[in-house]
Structure 1
């Protein structure tokens, strides 16, 4: 990519910032430059904030569910590896690094293959492993907690070059406050902690709260701010007192966050199913914050309930989230709770639709890339679907294996890597680096009233022309997918990813039969000729930093007499019914009518 094009993408991204965000972005840039240049002054600034902070008090009565859920989020993630942390062996994102002892942990550890985005280091800096060590650990765990907390306080410096992208990344500080506050309050409500351990954790907490008060990430106005504010709300909910100025500030900031980042249907505005799960937990903490006004807490409770419902809709029967946009398993809570209504469910503001019955599910992404002001976590997965049959994932999203700049990041965000109908050689979005976006695009859900109750669909206006997709559910059998391109060129394409746990064989009729243990599935193109189906090795990522094998099934559409391109594909646990071809043709005719009739601005 040329320097000129990079510059144009950057200018497009900057122009979409609100004046408020631009002001805070300028402040962030100045902080990054001035703190290392004037370290004594910046440390003095933080010390002044910390000096006036109230200490964390003990629990008051029965612990609320939001606090307990937050503690369990960190405990469930790190419970199985806390014994290793006791010895200085830190396990994050499936990778273990042995530092030799808790006191020797290097909080600025660099992982070479993570390049320009050191997520392993940032994730380690969350210090989430301390939560189960505090709550469930024995004496040797508590000694390790003391050493880890003291080591972090003594051996990290927010004025060091690069500190704001490492241990003192405000998002990481937020997770530290959430994990340590939740752990400390739960432990104090039970058997308590050794005095030295309690003091070491309390000292680290105060330092982090002072830092975060000075560094809320308003320049992003996204999930980072949500985590920032949840952390501050949790700490001050259990502080000995709440300074009036801080209570007023959090009232204002939480209200702004709720208004701008949580949509009416509960979807978090960045449209990541993973971050959706974290939003549910953060909103619960805010709704339990006693010093926020009653009216704001009531709104938080309502929106948290909607967010919980959206999280349920965006989860598969295996309890893990869909992998649309930046998402992976193991970061958000494993879904438990609300039952999703059977049949069709639509998140009209979030741009998602779902068909389900029993353990068969189809989810469709038919929304924007993300919020215009910060679409950095978006992927070009327009009209993509994920399909689970009998609780086994069959059609998967490529996922997110890395954030750092490189070929994997570029591929996993591209339209070509996803199964939404696309055009050869055409990418609808301009991506730069890890999170910057130039040209935007968005899909839209087709109106529910125009479709049968067993059908979901969406449209997407790409550069070469309009694209549309309908999916019809045949309960107990499978799903029929109908795709339409309203131009004859460039050539259309659909690329399904199937995990290699499924073994593929081809029948004489051109249907693909798949087996996984005693499970069977069929993928059958109903219009394409056999030479228009190609199966090649590929990969997907259900967990960050780890790629898994996949079969890539590339299908080419049929060129209709109308000069439109069309494709019908059956995906099910049984072969397609004899009526599938005729009913698919009816879906294509409906798509053609809708694409022609709906005004372009609704595309």
Structure 2
């Protein structure tokens, strides 16, 4: 395997400059939120005040639920899940019952009460995301969405969940050192509130809540905390999570009108600010698009069932987001792994669309209305190419953006052929740097650097915005895109990509100007199920599952071709080898044609 993890190391000065540039693009609300969080994190543990006791004192002595609509919504959501998803939840719950807990590819052994300490040796080197999932009480979600007939639920509650929730609630202390990075991470608190709301609603429906007031007190305390810790410092999809958590807590405890108002107003604001004109979520990750849409659908369903009016901005954004997802759906029905996306972290496309239908949100799919995201389809049916002609994401929120300028993905006969890379983890390591780089995408690299500088977990430098056009004539459909990479006083180089197709072939032509003597490499990363059989120096057969001939690839005007392997990250913590072609150009225009039928004439 070529060393895809090798990058020119950044100096301290370059890293600092990149950090300053990234910080300079933050919005005022983010900067103030970061400052507030840092002051709280540093100051509160040093004060002679028991902040945890203060929160406990605000929890009413008697808590009553109005839980029917939430439990009904949980049933709707469970009925939207595919059998494989519910079975996966049951298997994870079984492992948890047996003292094993696995997130993002890392499994640990739990203590007798099924807990684990922050400083346990098993967690050394494991990304913070693992702890966040643990603190969000994910096993309760597995319990709620497992097949209803598969487990003795009363026994699991009594023997497994009761002691675990009791321990989690009693050991999570607000105001202790590092509390905002451990037991009270605001994002984990949001997820905890949503899960505890659903779990409490289920307990109430089964007549089991009266003896479990601790669950309600823990839920109320978490909602109180979240109201004071809205994640303006992070922004993006975290605010959507905050919004639904506050809304659900306010609805289940009908006396908490402030939470209902805060959650609804936050939803309205994010609906306006975070969704583009074609309905796509502005972080440009299909995974986070589905997550955000799910939260919005839940808010609409709950507001309606509790008798509240649904703000038009939320309704409209949910409809447009559903329409966009319908448009983006590939031939195989799974999300394209664009930007920070993985499989099995959110609902599948079919699950979220069924859930939308159960919430009475319908989608019209008119391709001519889509374009704000920059995602364009070339082809139809089972044979389609997806082109990324858009910007890399919001300037103030580069965390989930990859350098995928004018990158392409391809499906033939419904099978993935050219793929994006996904993401291994969010921690700052070689996997993270590779997944975000131009090397990991089906585009062109000029020289040994990225067209947009990246670093750390989420840092990103000066951006470039592609200019794109779509046209068609009687013979073919055509996409054209162009972007400039800035240099000192003048562009460092310009990359133009033209793609023409008649639905049976795709002709990709790249032109790079002002590149000097810097090498030009066009990469094509193939799905692990795809093999390439060399026919001659410039032609390859595209083979699926070792035996099925899908089509052909013909390189055009290449100086040399290297067939190698590259890493593929379809799930957190999972690395799979796949084929990659490196087409090296001495001059341009140059490119390649992919065809389904040998001899298809390109005119």
Local SS of the residue matching 2:543: strand
CA deviation profile, 1:91-143 (whole Å, cap 9, x unmatched):
2234332215444444665665746x422222222222212424644233212
Paired with 1:274 and 1:341, the residues of 2 have a C-alpha distance of 21
For residue 415 of structure 1, what is the aligned residue in structure 2? 438
More displaced 10-residue stretch of structure 1: 223-232 or 159-168: 159-168
Decide which of 138, 141, 161 is 1:131's aligned counterpart: 141
Paired with 1:423 and 1:346, the residues of 2 have a C-alpha distance of 33
2:93–2:142 Cα contact (<8 Å) kept:
yes
Paired with 1:459 and 1:406, the residues of 2 have a C-alpha distance of 31
Question: In structure 2, do the counterparts of structure 1 residues 55 and 359 end up closer, same or farther at CA, with 3 Å as the change threshold?
Answer: farther
**Which residues of 2 match residues 74-85 of structure 1 at below 5 A?**
78-85=89-96
Question: In structure 2, do the counterparts of structure 1 residues 252 and 195 end up closer, same or farther at CA, with 3 Å as the change threshold?
Answer: closer
Local SS of the residue matching 1:81: helix
Paired with 1:440 and 1:228, the residues of 2 have a C-alpha distance of 29
For residue 212 of structure 1, what is the aligned residue in structure 2? 226
Paired with 2:279 and 2:117, the residues of 1 have a C-alpha distance of 39
2:476 matched to 1:467?
A: no
**Which residues of 2 match residues 127-526 of structure 1 at below 5 A?**
127-134=137-144, 136=148, 137-138=151-152, 139-143=154-158, 144-186=160-202, 188-189=204-205, 191-193=206-208, 195-196=210-211, 198-243=212-257, 245-290=258-303, 297-336=311-350, 337=353, 347-447=370-470, 454-463=477-486, 464-475=492-503, 477-487=504-514, 489=516, 490-508=518-536, 510-517=538-545, 518-526=547-555
Q: 1:544 Cα shift?
A: 0.9
Local SS of the residue matching 1:462: strand
Q: 1:556 Cα shift?
A: 2.1
Paired with 1:346 and 1:214, the residues of 2 have a C-alpha distance of 40
CA deviation profile, 1:447-483 (whole Å, cap 9, x unmatched):
55899873334322223222122333433x3433222
After TM superposition, the score normalised by the length of structure 2 is 0.85
Question: In structure 2, do the counterparts of structure 1 residues 53 and 218 end up closer, same or farther at CA, with 3 Å as the change threshold?
Answer: farther
Local SS of the residue matching 1:465: strand
1:273–1:321 Cα contact (<8 Å) kept:
yes
Question: In structure 2, do the counterparts of structure 1 residues 79 and 455 end up closer, same or farther at CA, with 3 Å as the change threshold?
Answer: farther
Paired with 1:16 and 1:558, the residues of 2 have a C-alpha distance of 37
Question: In structure 2, do the counterparts of structure 1 residues 521 and 344 end up closer, same or farther at CA, with 3 Å as the change threshold?
Answer: farther
Local SS of the residue matching 1:153: helix
For residue 101 of structure 2, what is the aligned residue in structure 1? 90
Paired with 2:573 and 2:65, the residues of 1 have a C-alpha distance of 36
2:597 matched to 1:574?
A: yes
Paired with 1:483 and 1:47, the residues of 2 have a C-alpha distance of 63
For residue 596 of structure 1, what is the aligned residue in structure 2? none
CA deviation profile, 1:55-106 (whole Å, cap 9, x unmatched):
4422149934896369959957623311121222212234332215444444
2:66–2:254 Cα contact (<8 Å) kept:
yes
Q: 1:254 Cα shift?
A: 2.3
For residue 557 of structure 2, what is the aligned residue in structure 1? 528
Q: 1:12 Cα shift?
A: 1.7
Question: In structure 2, do the counterparts of structure 1 residues 552 and 93 end up closer, same or farther at CA, with 3 Å as the change threshold?
Answer: same
Unaligned runs of 5+ in 1: 560-564, 584-603
Question: In structure 2, do the counterparts of structure 1 residues 433 and 526 end up closer, same or farther at CA, with 3 Å as the change threshold?
Answer: closer
For residue 489 of structure 2, what is the aligned residue in structure 1? none
Paired with 2:423 and 2:62, the residues of 1 have a C-alpha distance of 39
2:319–2:363 Cα contact (<8 Å) kept:
no
Paired with 1:332 and 1:324, the residues of 2 have a C-alpha distance of 14
Q: 1:393 Cα shift?
A: 1.2
Question: In structure 2, do the counterparts of structure 1 residues 348 and 76 end up closer, same or farther at CA, with 3 Å as the change threshold?
Answer: farther
CA deviation profile, 1:262-288 (whole Å, cap 9, x unmatched):
222111111111101101101112323
1:108–1:167 Cα contact (<8 Å) kept:
no
For residue 359 of structure 2, what is the aligned residue in structure 1? none
2:377–2:384 Cα contact (<8 Å) kept:
yes
Local SS of the residue matching 1:377: coil
CA deviation profile, 1:400-442 (whole Å, cap 9, x unmatched):
1121111111111111221122312231222231112232333
For residue 577 of structure 2, what is the aligned residue in structure 1? 549
Paired with 1:373 and 1:537, the residues of 2 have a C-alpha distance of 34
RMSD between aligned residues: 3.2
Local SS of the residue matching 1:63: helix
2:14 matched to 1:10?
A: no
Question: In structure 2, do the counterparts of structure 1 residues 4 and 486 end up closer, same or farther at CA, with 3 Å as the change threshold?
Answer: closer
Q: 1:52 Cα shift?
A: 9.2
1:359–1:390 Cα contact (<8 Å) kept:
yes
Q: 1:510 Cα shift?
A: 2.9
Question: In structure 2, do the counterparts of structure 1 residues 148 and 398 end up closer, same or farther at CA, with 3 Å as the change threshold?
Answer: same
CA deviation profile, 1:180-203 (whole Å, cap 9, x unmatched):
3234334544x454654x434323
Q: 1:395 Cα shift?
A: 0.6
Q: 1:353 Cα shift?
A: 1.4
After TM superposition, the score normalised by the length of structure 1 is 0.85
Paired with 1:343 and 1:484, the residues of 2 have a C-alpha distance of 32
Number of residue equivalences: 569
Question: In structure 2, do the counterparts of structure 1 residues 134 and 63 end up closer, same or farther at CA, with 3 Å as the change threshold?
Answer: closer
Paired with 1:26 and 1:396, the residues of 2 have a C-alpha distance of 40
Paired with 1:231 and 1:156, the residues of 2 have a C-alpha distance of 19
Question: In structure 2, do the counterparts of structure 1 residues 552 and 63 end up closer, same or farther at CA, with 3 Å as the change threshold?
Answer: same
1:146–1:200 Cα contact (<8 Å) kept:
no
Question: In structure 2, do the counterparts of structure 1 residues 523 and 200 end up closer, same or farther at CA, with 3 Å as the change threshold?
Answer: farther
Question: In structure 2, do the counterparts of structure 1 residues 152 and 318 end up closer, same or farther at CA, with 3 Å as the change threshold?
Answer: farther
Local SS of the residue matching 2:289: helix
